[in-house]
């Protein structure tokens, strides 16, 4: 597609692989929003890299025309960091779910915020492990009794991803809803344009294991006012509920971008890893 003159349409970014997501899954809205963003921003597919871990949402790179890497559970962020620093001319987007991104990937979340490499992380959060058939995840409500593993609820307070991002030093923090693909698409475009690490928590219902989330459409409400003041941002998080959406916080911070070394021969890079005999 890259050599053609005509403008690319959202559908041009979708691959021939048919999504295996359950009909009505919130992840479809994210796929549509991303396709729209890429078309609107006129991003050539060969300039896009989508990096994921494991889970229902992490299948997304296979459904798009772009470079993609389906990694291992919880490791989308270090993979995306490596791609972004070694290929700074690519638009890099890491794609995760709440189980994958906030549990085993939780450590990477903290350090991606403080490292501030220039890429975008979208997390499709349905507060459940969907792919493994519906266990409580880090963002599941403490009193959710929908899993046989936690029939009386987990009794664990849900993780607060936006508060964590703010505390860890992230410079772009937003929450959006998969049921509003146009608004989500515009927010993803802003995140891509942000110079540094940008985080969007996307409320993306799992209609199979959390059917009550189908009611979110009537419950989400735009409410955050973007600020550069962390105190104000915290106040908005404490005042708003878990279904309040919008851009919460945006500020420019120093980025970590080591000099790319891709021109060096592989042997020179190998030398760095010689145990006891490194030449650098």
Residues that bind Mg ion (CB under 5 A): 97-99, 126
DSSP-H helix ranges across 170-229: 181-193, 216-219
Write the binding mask 172 to 211 for ligand SF4: x where contact by CB under 6 A, - elsewhere.
----------------------------------xxxx--
For the chain, list the strands marked E by DSSP.
Answer: 48-52, 67-70, 91-97, 120-125, 172-177, 198-203, 221-222, 244-250
Residue 27 binds which entry of ligand SF4, Mg ion, none, CB below 5-8 Å type-dependent: ligand SF4
Nearer to ligand SF4, 116 or 137 (CB): 137
The answer to whether the beta carbons of residues 66 and 72 sit under 8 Å apart is: no
Residue 98 binds which entry of Mg ion, ligand SF4, none, CB below 5-8 Å type-dependent: Mg ion
Q: Which of residues 25-44 bind ligand SF4 (CB under 6 A)?
A: 25, 27
Reported as type and span, the H/E element at residue 156 is none
Q: Which of 97, 90, 103, 148 is nearest to 122 (CA)?
A: 97
Confirm or reject binding of residue 60 to ligand SF4 (CB under 6 A). Answer: no
The answer to whether the beta carbons of residues 109 and 97 sit under 8 Å apart is: no
Nearer to Mg ion, 34 or 83 (CB): 34
Length of the chain: 280
Nearer to ligand SF4, 43 or 206 (CB): 206
Residue ranges in contact with ligand SF4 by CB under 6 A: 21-22, 25, 27, 56, 126, 130-131, 206-209
């Amino acid at each position: 597609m890259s050599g053609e003159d005509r403008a690319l349409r959202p559908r041009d970014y979708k691959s021939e692989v048919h999504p295996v997501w359950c009909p009505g899954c919130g992840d479809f809205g994210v796929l549509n929003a991303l396709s729209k963003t890429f078309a609107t921003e006129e991003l050539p597919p060969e300039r896009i890299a989508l990096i994921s871990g494991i889970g229902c949402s992490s299948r997304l790179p296979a459904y798009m025309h772009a470079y993609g890497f389906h990694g291992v559970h919880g490791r989308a962020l270090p993979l995306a960091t490596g791609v972004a620093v070694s290929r700074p001319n690519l638009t890099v987007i890491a794609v995760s779910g709440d189980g994958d991104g906030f549990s085993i990937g939780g450590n990477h979340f903290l350090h991606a915020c403080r490292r501030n490499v220039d890429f975008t992380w979208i997390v499709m959060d349905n507060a459940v492990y969907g792919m493994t058939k519906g266990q409580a995840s880090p963002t599941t409500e403490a009193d959710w009794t929908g899993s046989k593993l936690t029939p009386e609820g987990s009794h664990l307070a849900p993780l607060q991803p936006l508060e964590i991002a703010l505390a860890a030093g992230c410079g772009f923090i937003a929450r959006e809803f998969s049921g509003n693909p146009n608004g989500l698409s515009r927010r993803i475009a802003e995140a891509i344009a942000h110079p540094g690490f940008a985080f969007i928590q996307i409320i993306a219902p799992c209609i199979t294991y959390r059917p009550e989330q189908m009611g979110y459409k009537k419950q989400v409400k735009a409410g955050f006012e973007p600020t550069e003041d962390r105190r104000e941002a915290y106040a908005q998080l404490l005042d708003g509920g878990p279904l309040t959406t919008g851009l919460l916080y945006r500020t420019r911070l120093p980025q970590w971008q080591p000099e790319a070394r891709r021109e060096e021969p592989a042997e020179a890079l190998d030398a760095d890893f010689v145990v006891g005999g490194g030449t650098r």
